Amino acid sequence: MQGLVPRGAVPGAWPTVLLLALLARPSAAIAGLGWLLTGRRVRGWNELCLAAAAHHNAYRWWIARAEPAILSRYTRNTSPAAFRVDAVILGAASNPVAAAATRDSLRAAFGAEMAIWVAADALAGCRTLPVNDTPAAVAVELRAADRGQWILPIEAGDLVATQLGGLLVERLDDAPDLLYWDEDRRVDAGHRADPWVKPDWDPRLFGARDGLTGSCLIRLARGDGQTGAGQDTGWPQFLYDSARQTGIAPRHLSLILTHRAVEPRRIAAPAPVLRAVSVSVIVPTRDRADLLEVCLAGLAETQFPGDRDIIIVDNGSIEARTIALFQKLGQTGEARIVACGGPFNFAALANAGVQAARGDLVCLLNNDIEVRDRWWLARMAAYAVEPDVGAVGARLLFPDGSIQHAGVALGVGDAAGHVEKGVVPEGADNSPWYAIDRTVSAATGACLVVSREKYLAVGGMDSAAFAVDFNDVDLCLRLAEHSWKTVYCASAVLVHHESKSRGRRRTGPDRARFERELANLRARWHTDRIVDPYHSPLFRRQVERCLLAF
């Protein structure tokens, strides 16, 4: 198996992946091995890892086999008493038993010298807050007591890893005002489950889901300096506001060091507001009038408060039904037809459409997109008009309801991949990867909204280097070079009948073309070694699903 083991895996871990895969889904495991042995490394590991993740004890195996090795890379033999940190156990008065467990966990991690504060009559080994445990009351009390440099606010019942204090010692001297880490949840009999492996700081994500309470340290000077109404909003909102006001992004420690008693709370983040704006929807196509008719019917039902026009970029259609449709659209004024012949080149088709566009925004839309949410375009446009935003992507579903696109992560397969592809959303899911608006490194061009001015400012899509694949990724990364970020809009939901109009060819000239474009991506953006800040180094690079690496 030498040469087949993925780079970045814990040494000797591949037998664990294979064993879990064979136990959970034997046929998929055998298929994965077959792909590996025939040289299809990415596809083979994708099959094996998905099969292993289906095992009901996969996370417990990761905790036992992989986590100790990861922690050992960061742990130092330094006493946590080398710095001063106070903890505040929130909700101790209403749940003293849970608070006692949290206290014991903190003592094990930070030692007996740690000052632990509670707003309760008496919890052995803790100091009492005279008023309550709101941010304002804690700041006043710790200022009066001339206490330590850092505060760790944590809910009663939450536990921390015993290594936490030692891990933080050497990371605070030059740290910004807030440092946070990853977390999971304690379920049956205290077993750990539901890991939330976080990205680097993203105000959009953390403004919607509490990822700081219980899993962060905030510098006392920062907490001390906040006064007034901001401290009456509760700890999740206070920590988020404090992180945004520092001017320096909080530091992220990619280790699972807090074990929550309950799932993180959603925060009522304000929705972006759409200003008066116009948009040109650009639909590249070649024949397949059946798909185009469905796409156009959805656009007719789409609600958008500004001016809107539709541009069909025709890549040499010849079928009678398609020609008749074009004539009808031209006669009714429903759409303009722009001819762009030659071999299929999505980037060139998109660029031709943008050149013909009149709108302030352009929306690239595949002809195999089915609209099911009338307000999708307005929601995406509200982000696209923000000064620091470049491209905006949508949540795209396969016809069976599973995730096709929820943002693009760099480095997957040493290239780029669709985050959580194939996952089936469950009801009112709180997943931070596909159910919440967030910043991403790139988004698919199958449905992409961007300012026309910004699109042209970076030269549009590179039709020479990326005719078919990775042109959207390259565009987003060039927008990022101008400090224009890419946003994934989870509330804009559409169905993508992926590549129905072209098929999924990977043979002969098409295979050679793909390999050239993949080589161009790696040469330009180093995706064979990059660590995506909006993904996680703990995730396996061989799969699009957010799976922990053994």
Q: How far apart are alpha carbons 269 and 94 in whole angstroms? A: 28
**Helix (H/G/I), strand (E/B), else coil: 404:** strand
Quickly count: other Cβ atoms within 10 Å of residue 3's Cβ: 6
Quick one: what percent of the chain has pLDDT higher than 90?
Answer: 62
Which pLDDT score, from 0 to 100, does residue 228 have? 38
**Helix (H/G/I), strand (E/B), else coil: 352:** helix
Pairwise pLDDT comparison (191 vs 426), residue with the higher score: 191
Q: Looking at the predicted structure, is the pLDDT value of residue 472 above 90?
A: yes
Contact of 412 with 404, CB cutoff 8 Å: no
pLDDT band at 489 (very low <50, low <70, confident <90, very high): very high
**Alpha carbon distances (Å) from 247 to 216, 243, 447:** 17, 8, 33
Pairwise pLDDT comparison (431 vs 448), residue with the higher score: 448
pLDDT band at 123 (very low <50, low <70, confident <90, very high): confident
Which pLDDT score, from 0 to 100, does residue 311 have? 98
Residue 401's identity, in one-letter code, is G
**Alpha carbon distances (Å) from 139 to 45, 135, 219:** 50, 6, 11
Per mean pLDDT, which range of 18-27, 96-105, 242-251, 281-290 is the poorest? Answer: 242-251
Contact of 284 with 353, CB cutoff 8 Å: yes
Which pLDDT score, from 0 to 100, does residue 292 have? 96
Q: Looking at the predicted structure, is the pLDDT value of residue 225 above 80?
A: no
The DSSP secondary structure of 38-49, one letter per residue, reads TT-HHHHHHHHH
- Section 474-499 average pLDDT: 95
Which pLDDT score, from 0 to 100, does residue 221 have? 64
Quickly count: other Cβ atoms within 10 Å of residue 412's Cβ: 24
**Alpha carbon distances (Å) from 479 to 103, 280, 474:** 47, 19, 9
- Section 226-248 average pLDDT: 74
- Section 79-94 average pLDDT: 80
pTM of the model: 0.91
Which pLDDT score, from 0 to 100, does residue 153 have? 96
Domains of the chain: 73-260 (3.90.550.10), 279-525 (3.90.550.10)
Per mean pLDDT, which range of 25-29, 62-66, 220-224, 273-277 is the poorest? Answer: 220-224
Which pLDDT score, from 0 to 100, does residue 77 have? 59
The mean pLDDT of the chain is: 88
Burial of 469 (0-12, 13-18, 19+ CB in 10 A): buried
Closest CA to 172 of 101, 119, 67, 250: 250
Q: How far apart are alpha carbons 326 and 449 in whole angstroms? A: 24
CA quadruple 167, 171, 172, 177: dihedral positive or negative? Answer: negative
Structure tokens at 421: 């592809």
Q: What are the tens digits of pLDDT across the range 499-532?
A: 544 445 567 888 899 999 999 999 999 999 999 9
- Section 392-414 average pLDDT: 95
Structure tokens at 211: 């990822």
Pairwise pLDDT comparison (81 vs 94), residue with the higher score: 94
Contact of 256 with 336, CB cutoff 8 Å: no
Pairwise pLDDT comparison (474 vs 34), residue with the higher score: 474
